[in-house]
Chain A
Amino acid sequence: MQIYLPIAEVSVNAFVLLGMGGLVGVLSGMFGVGGGFLMTPLLFFIGIPPAVAVATEANQIVASSFSGVLAHLRRKSVDLKMGVVLLIGGLIGAAIGVVIFNYLRSLGQVDLLVRLCYVVFLGVVGSLMFVESLNALRRSKNPAATPKRRKHGLIHALPFKMRFRVSGLYISVIPPVIVGIVVGILAAIMGVGGGFILVPAMIYLLGMPTKVVIGTSLFQIIFVTGFTTLLHATTNYTVDVVLAVLLLIGGVVGAQVGTIIGARMKAEQLRILLAGMVLLVCGKLALDLLIMPAELYSIGAGAGH
């Protein structure tokens, strides 16, 4: 069934979109990530203009993370105070990100920036996660090894300290704000929620306990992607609500299926699988940058458009 998308101005198969939403939903339900890093390249692939793909993907992530955060709120695994601090950084970052996005769009380099961001961040996060989960697997076979104690480093020497009761932390607000800004910029440029960066940053940089990390990350992602959606809608008119609805129907159903699959697997196995997938997407994007493209020319909208 073909559906004409009013903003993207292309006609696409509705079942392909539902299927893509479902597939990415299953993966995000299994691994607890938004799935934007998979969905945006897939949207490019089926011919959605990059600007529309990035803006619409932000809108879809609002839906999936809202659905997720409700579950976490019931379990009281959301650090609202930490979420708000991250959010302040995130909103600043999102505003900066949209400005950078529009500037690069006028230069014709948006495509490159988005791809480079993907390759760098997916590569780094994927390899770190892969190594970490391999070690975890080895440790689980050899229970004699004791876990390391948390170190008191530079982060604890910074001013403006604040108590985060749910996370059990007493740290400066500067690191969370900076993490928020970085994630906000990436959310606007890459059309992702930034969960795959935020989650490791909260665990390894801020030292938050893993059980509150996912909920808090989802909480802040709702607002950052919501804000990004509004900014893209009002400055670029590139949010396609028909596309978003098709994606989120598939995504929401897929996420629930994924949660059930995920519950039956070991945490280390899940992390290794996710790392492998992240590295696979990264490798594909890196190859595209390195191999000579079949068509050297591309067409963009003119200034007077």
Chain B
Amino acid sequence: MIRYIALFLLLWPVLASAQNEEIVADLSQRRVSITTNFTGSEILIFGAVKRSTAIVASDPLDVIITVAGPDESFVVRKMDRIAGIWVNAAQQEIDSAPSFYSVMSTAPLEDILSDTEDLRYRISKERVIRAVDGGAGAAAPEFTEALIRIRESEDIYQLNEGEVSFFDGTLFRAQVALPANLTEGDYETTIYLVRNKSVVARHKTTIAVSKVGLERFLYNLAHNQPLIYGIMSLFIAIAAGWLASAAFRLLRN
């Protein structure tokens, strides 16, 4: 036993040096403010690999960057033809899936990441979605596939393989396009350093997305003071109706 510990202690610096690659990274902006004229936002993610030993040329590094919006639960429904018309029939609850998800990498994911590592870190879109197995486990994949397909077509799930620029195995840079219809919350940004299909280092940071100004005020009012908000909406409607009527009477006279 003592021999093993001694061996471990002897080898420790060697083992440690193999993993001694750290990520230093930053974002072009850490806050995204949703204002009334918000049309989406481009965020630059950049950084470098910090290491204490020389680069091992034989084992190239790769970079994967994920940006995930706050988790939400969904129900995915499938339409079926009943009595000649198309209605929602089967449905599957999706326990949690990010409201926005973007994966960027230096190379195709399957070439640089093993399935087990994907499972552990939940990197690919298929892994990040968790479905509730409501007894009908067999039906689950087609519903999660549909969820991914629909959200990809809306550009809120993005897969950009090869979009991360990586220079000399040290400097990396990528750009993520946040769409205009964002939900509020913390957008978790994770940078993975991958070698030989396994993750060697990880760095997490967040982009805070929040409504500001009028958007913030109206959203809060609608949720915290719904009655006042409702009365305000009615008041605006009544005032506009009266204004239109009065204005046109003036115009005619």
B241 touches A252 (CB 8 A): yes
A297 touches B79 (CB 8 A): yes
Q: B204-240: contact bitstring with A at CB < 8 Å (1 yes, 0 no)? A: 0000000100110011001100110111111011101
B180 touches A4 (CB 8 A): yes
Residues of B within 8 A of A66 (CB): 237-238, 241-242, 245
In angstroms, Cα B218 to Cα A245, docked, is 13
Return A11 CB to nearest CB of chain B, in Å.
Answer: 3
Return A65 CB to nearest CB of chain B, in Å.
Answer: 7
Residues of A within 8 A of B74 (CB): 299-302, 305
Given A233-B222, A297-B78, A301-B74, check contact A4 B233 (CB 8 Å): no
Residues of A within 8 A of B226 (CB): 233-234, 237
Q: Taking the complex as formed, is A229 at the interface, i.e. its CB lies under 8 A from any CB of chain B?
A: yes
**Sampled A-B contacts (21; CB under 8 Å):** A2-B38, A6-B219, A59-B233, A59-B234, A62-B241, A67-B240, A67-B244, A70-B245, A111-B88, A226-B237, A229-B230, A229-B234, A241-B218, A242-B36, A296-B79, A298-B77, A299-B75, A299-B150, A302-B75, A302-B93, A305-B73
Q: Taking the complex as formed, is A292 at the interface, i.e. its CB lies under 8 A from any CB of chain B?
A: yes
Of chain B, the residue at the smallest CB distance from A286 is B85
Report, as a range, how many residues of chain A touch the other chain: 35 or more
Of chain A, the residue at the smallest CB distance from B153 is A295
Residues of B within 8 A of A108 (CB): 75, 77, 88, 91
Given A60-B237, A67-B244, check contact A297 B150 (CB 8 Å): yes
In angstroms, Cα B226 to Cα A229, docked, is 11
In angstroms, Cα B234 to Cα A65, docked, is 12
Q: Taking the complex as formed, is A290 at the interface, i.e. its CB lies under 8 A from any CB of chain B?
A: yes
Q: What would 4 more interface pairs be, CB under 8 Å, given A229-B230, A299-B77, A302-B72?
A: A239-B230, A252-B240, A298-B77, A303-B75
Q: A96-122: which have CB < 8 Å to B?
A: 108-109, 111-112
In angstroms, Cα B38 to Cα A141, docked, is 58
A290 touches B84 (CB 8 A): yes
In angstroms, Cα B240 to Cα A242, docked, is 13
In angstroms, Cα B86 to Cα A293, docked, is 8
**CB within 8 Å: A-B pair count:** 187
Chain A positions near chain B (C-beta within 8 angstroms): 1-4, 6-7, 9-11, 59-60, 62-68, 70-71, 108-109, 111-112, 226, 229-230, 232-234, 237, 239, 241-242, 244-245, 248-249, 252-253, 255-256, 289-293, 295-305
Return A46 CB to nearest CB of chain B, in Å.
Answer: 12
Contact for B242 among A67, A112, A234, A296, CB less than 8 A: A67
Given A3-B36, A302-B75, A305-B72, check contact A71 B245 (CB 8 Å): yes
Given A6-B215, A7-B222, A229-B233, check contact A303 B73 (CB 8 Å): yes
Residues of A within 8 A of B237 (CB): 59-60, 62-63, 66, 226, 229, 244, 248
In angstroms, Cα B172 to Cα A163, docked, is 83
Return B73 CB to nearest CB of chain A, in Å.
Answer: 3
Contact for B240 among A112, A245, A304, CB less than 8 A: A245
Return B141 CB to nearest CB of chain A, in Å.
Answer: 12
Q: Which of B73, B182, B226 has the most CB of A within 10 A?
A: B226
Q: Taking the complex as formed, is B76 at the interface, i.e. its CB lies under 8 A from any CB of chain A?
A: yes
Of chain A, the residue at the smallest CB distance from B218 is A6
Q: Taking the complex as formed, is B143 at the interface, i.e. its CB lies under 8 A from any CB of chain A?
A: yes
Of chain A, the residue at the smallest CB distance from B95 is A302
Residues of A within 8 A of B238 (CB): 62-63, 66
Residues of B within 8 A of A295 (CB): 146, 150
Return A94 CB to nearest CB of chain B, in Å.
Answer: 13
A112 touches B236 (CB 8 A): no
